[in-house]
Amino acid sequence: LSQGLSVLVGLGLCVTMLGLGCAVELGQLGQQLRRPVGLLLALLGQFVAMPLLAFLLALIFALDEVAAVAVLLCGCCPGGNLSNLMSVLVDGDMNLSIIMTASSTLLALFLMPLCLWIYSRHWINTAVVQLLPLGAVSLTLGSTLLPIGLGVLIRYRHPRAADLLVKISLWSLLVTLVILFILTGTMLGPDLLAHIPASVYAIAVLMPLAGYALGYGLATVFKMPPHCRRTVSLETGCQNVQLCTAILKLTFPPELIGGMYMFPLLYALFQSAEAGLFVLVYKMYGRDSYKQDTLGEEEDTDISYKKLKEEEVADTSYGTVTTEEPNSIQMEPTQTAL
């Protein structure tokens, strides 16, 4: 079962990264590079706000070194594919969402090991931090570039196949998480739950919620429109839990990391539930205002169009005689039908 978990985690990560690459269009990427707001927001959200949040929560809840490393690793991960799906459901900016996910994944190759090295200094004298495989983390991140690049190529050459692969990757995310929960429960059962402290569950609940709030506040500081604020909020709180699980499972000795490789799965559970509540609240209360804004824009367009037509009719008419003063006769154009 342990070997099966390792293979499943590796395959799930490859499919997810392939789907991410298939969602990126080169034209959109060029536009974002010319005006790199999405890149800046991904940098600030994923590698400034979230690692600092994970570090503070680990200190506040006085986690031991193993749990702290698991939380830090999850906080330093790039954005995940769940945010792309949720951005669609809240009428967000899909181009911004995809660019933020892709750029944070590329930035993670250099910034994720750096953030881990900086924030793990508090536990430097512990065995798990001394064995922190920063090289293996970088190697795992580097291995994700191949499926991402392949996905971008498929999007460029075969757009329809890319759309299908994006859908497959989203479904694989759900299936992989479900299978991991089932296999882990089969292997460890109630012993695993008994060894995970309540503080870890509390962090798994608070961390994505705080991430959503930080992302929304960050977008507000940049004075972005409401639909972009919702997008940045989801992008900041949603982490790539497949990557975090893969690193914990494939790079740390199992006798050292223990059941803490379950933390990203718990994070995935609560980040999905809280994002689902976000979507539900938007559908109940925010959707109407979004429709009214869209309708108002359409009405303005119709009025402008009517005015334009009236002006066109006035300008193209000829032949009408009008008198504005008693002693003056003025010729006005009127339209003659042939």
pLDDT band at 301 (very low <50, low <70, confident <90, very high): very low
> What's the whole-number mean pLDDT along residues 123-130?
67
Q: Is the dihedral of CA 330, 335, 337, 338 positive or negative?
A: positive
Q: Using CA atoms, how far apart are residues 124 and 133, in angstroms rounded to an integer?
A: 13
Top pLDDT among 102 and 304 is at 102
Q: Which of 181-185, 255-259, 301-305 has the lowest mean pLDDT?
A: 301-305
Q: Using CA atoms, how far apart are residues 179 and 175, in angstroms rounded to an integer?
A: 6
For residue 239, pLDDT over 70 is answered with yes
**Cross-strand pairs, 220:** none
**Cross-strand pairs, 331:** 321
Q: What is the mean pLDDT of the chain?
A: 75
Q: In degrees, to the nearest 5, what angle opens at C-alpha 178 toward C-alphas 72 and 242?
A: 35
* pTM over the 0.75 mark: no
**Burial of residue 218 (number of CB atoms within 10 Å: 0-12, 13-18, 19+):** buried
Nearest to 192 by CA among 265, 285, 300: 265
For residue 303, pLDDT over 60 is answered with no
CATH architecture of 36-133+172-286: Up-down Bundle (1.20)
pLDDT at residue number 312: 46
Q: Using CA atoms, how far apart are residues 216 and 219, in angstroms rounded to an integer?
A: 5
For residue 117, pLDDT over 50 is answered with yes
Most confidently modeled range among 31-35, 44-48, 180-184, 322-326: 44-48
pLDDT at residue number 287: 65
pLDDT band at 50 (very low <50, low <70, confident <90, very high): very high
pLDDT digit string (tens) for 262-287? 788 888 888 888 988 888 888 888 66
> What's the whole-number mean pLDDT along residues 116-138?
71
pLDDT band at 118 (very low <50, low <70, confident <90, very high): confident
pLDDT band at 299 (very low <50, low <70, confident <90, very high): very low
Pairing mode of beta strands 320-322, 330-332: antiparallel
pLDDT at residue number 208: 93
Domain range list for the chain = 36-133+172-286
For residue 235, pLDDT over 70 is answered with yes
pLDDT digit string (tens) for 8-48? 766 777 777 777 777 777 666 666 667 778 788 888 999 99
pLDDT digit string (tens) for 130-156? 556 666 666 666 666 777 788 888 888
Q: List Cβ neighbours of 12 (8 Å cut-off, separation of 6 or more).
A: 172, 173, 176, 242, 246
Q: Using CA atoms, how far apart are residues 281 and 86, in angstroms rounded to an integer?
A: 13
Top pLDDT among 301 and 181 is at 181
